[in-house]
């Protein structure tokens, strides 16, 4: 069994629990340093076991990188955190995942609640073919979180979200333009912006820069950096330079197992495991 061992987290934000008022009570115990706690997680696609005895603690308010060779289970693990894997037929999971001290497999947690609290950004930007303005408010409208707001207040929400992703100056005069007319980098920023009105606790990113050119990568990395402290970010990347630059801690996976979880500096300068060293030196695929 692999278990991550990580120093305590100094950051303490105070996000809402996954369950909202009016929902049944959540688990009493709290741990204000951890965002995601995974215990004995196994996942099978049919007969194929893609995750094996995964145990990890992901700290709140930092950027954690998930690295490892193609097919090692990075995306599968990420998709466990918002239960997207359940959309696929023949998926079986055992073990527990707690996010902010609430077991996400509990019967009183709906996937709708979960996906509000845990935002996801994909490899290719996927804005909806509606206006930039409506994209930013789409999640908020879906979850009816901003129903009571006046038009002016909604405008403020849109502006703040676009400012946070450094897109406001570029798009403020064309908010009614279709989002799909933006460059890929701008679209990816918009996909991050549309999570912000929902104030998610965790933002999952699956290779968010893989469709971008060098300038786009730099811009989006800067944006990810700006999310630190306010959000817990888990980012999958194949780009080792990016993992070094953009993350605080890294988790190295191999064939469905966690091999090593440490601070990014330790992982790249002093890897504990030989397999980690081989991977970061480019000796795995």
Q: Residue 95, CB half-sphere, CA atoms under 13 Å: how many?
A: 22
> CB under 5 to 8 A by kind: which of Mg ion, ligand ATP, none does 88 bind?
ligand ATP
Q: Which residues pair with 45 in a beta bridge?
A: 48, 91
- Quote the least distance from Cβ 73 to ligand ATP, whole Å: 4
Strand stretches in 68-164, DSSP E: 91-99, 102-103, 118-121
Q: In this complex, which beta carbon is closest to ligand ATP, that of residue 50 or of residue 251?
A: 50
Nearest CA to 12 out of 199, 247, 232 is that of 232
**Cβ closest to ligand ATP, residue 79 vs residue 194:** 79
- Min dist CB 258 to ligand ATP, Å, is 12
| Among the listed residues 190, 195, 201, 197, the one whose alpha carbon sits nearest the alpha carbon of residue 81 | 201
Packing angle between helix 214-227 and helix 184-193, nearest 10 degrees?
A: 10
The residue at minimum Cβ distance from Mg ion is 75
Report, in Å, the least distance between residue 90 CB and ligand ATP.
7
Residue 34 or 51 with smaller CB distance to ligand ATP: 51
Looking at beta carbons only, is 100 or 236 nearer to ligand ATP? 236
Task: For 155, list phi and psi in degrees, rounded to 5.
Answer: -60, -40
Q: Minimum distance between the CB of residue 75 and Mg ion, rounded to whole angstroms? A: 3
The residues that bridge with 178 in the sheet, in sequence order, are 131
Structure token pair of residue 162: 């676009």
Contact 276, 259 (CB under 8 A): yes
The minimum distance between CB 195 and Mg ion, in angstroms, equals: 20
Minimum CB distance to ligand ATP, residue 70 (Å): 3
According to the binding rule CB under 6 A, does residue 275 interact with ligand ATP? no
- Integer-rounded Cα Rg, in Å, for the chain is 19
Q: How far is the CB of 235 from Mg ion (least distance, A)?
A: 12
Contact 273, 260 (CB under 8 A): yes
Number of helices (H) and strands (E) in the chain: give both, helices first.
Answer: 10, 10
Interacting partner of 73 out of ligand ATP, Mg ion, none (Cβ under 5 to 8 A depending on kind): ligand ATP
Which range touches ligand ATP (CB under 6 A), out of 66-74, 129-137, 182-190, 240-248? 66-74
Residue of the chain from 44, 45, 105, 268 that contacts ligand ATP (CB under 6 A): 45
CB 65 within 8 A of CB 250: yes
Q: Mask: binding to ligand ATP, 68-97, rule CB under 6 A, as x and -? A: x-xxxxxxx-----------x---------
> Which of the choices ligand ATP, Mg ion, none does residue 45 contact, using the CB cut-off of 5 to 8 A by kind?
ligand ATP
Question: What whole-number distance in Å separates Cα of residue 246 and Cα of residue 248?
Answer: 7
Which residue's CB is nearer to ligand ATP, number 74 or number 115?
74
């Amino acid at each position: 069994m692999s278990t991550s061992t990580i120093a305590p987290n100094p950051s303490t934000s105070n996000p809402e629990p996954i369950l909202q008022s009016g929902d049944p009570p959540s688990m009493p115990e709290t741990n204000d340093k951890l965002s995601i706690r995974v215990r004995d997680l196994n996942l099978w696609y049919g007969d194929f076991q893609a995750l094996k005895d995964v145990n990890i603690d992901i700290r709140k308010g930092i950027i954690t990188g998930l690295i490892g060779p193609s097919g090692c289970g990075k995306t599968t693990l990420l998709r466990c955190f918002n239960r997207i894997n359940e959309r696929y037929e023949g998926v079986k999971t055992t073990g527990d995942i707690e996010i902010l001290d609430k077991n996400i497999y509990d019967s009183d947690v709906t996937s709708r609640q979960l996906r509000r609290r845990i935002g996801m950004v994909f490899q290719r930007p996927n804005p909806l073919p509606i206006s930039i303005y409506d994209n930013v408010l789409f999640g908020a409208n879906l979850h009816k979180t901003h129903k009571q707001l006046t038009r002016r207040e909604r405008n403020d929400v849109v502006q703040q979200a676009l400012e946070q992703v450094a897109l406001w100056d570029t798009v403020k005069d064309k908010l009614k333009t279709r989002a799909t007319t933006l460059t890929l980098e701008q679209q990816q920023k918009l996909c991050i912006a549309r999570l912000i009105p929902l104030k998610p606790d965790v933002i999952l990113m699956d290779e968010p820069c893989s469709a971008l050119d060098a300038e786009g990568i730099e811009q989006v990395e800067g944006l990810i950096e700006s999310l630190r402290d306010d959000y817990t970010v888990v980012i999958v990347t194949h780009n080792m330079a990016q993992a070094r630059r953009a993350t605080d801690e890294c988790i190295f996976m191999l064939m469905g197992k966690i091999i090593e979880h440490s601070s990014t500096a330790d992982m790249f300068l002093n890897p504990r495991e030989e397999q980690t060293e081989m991977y970061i030196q480019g000796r795995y695929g």
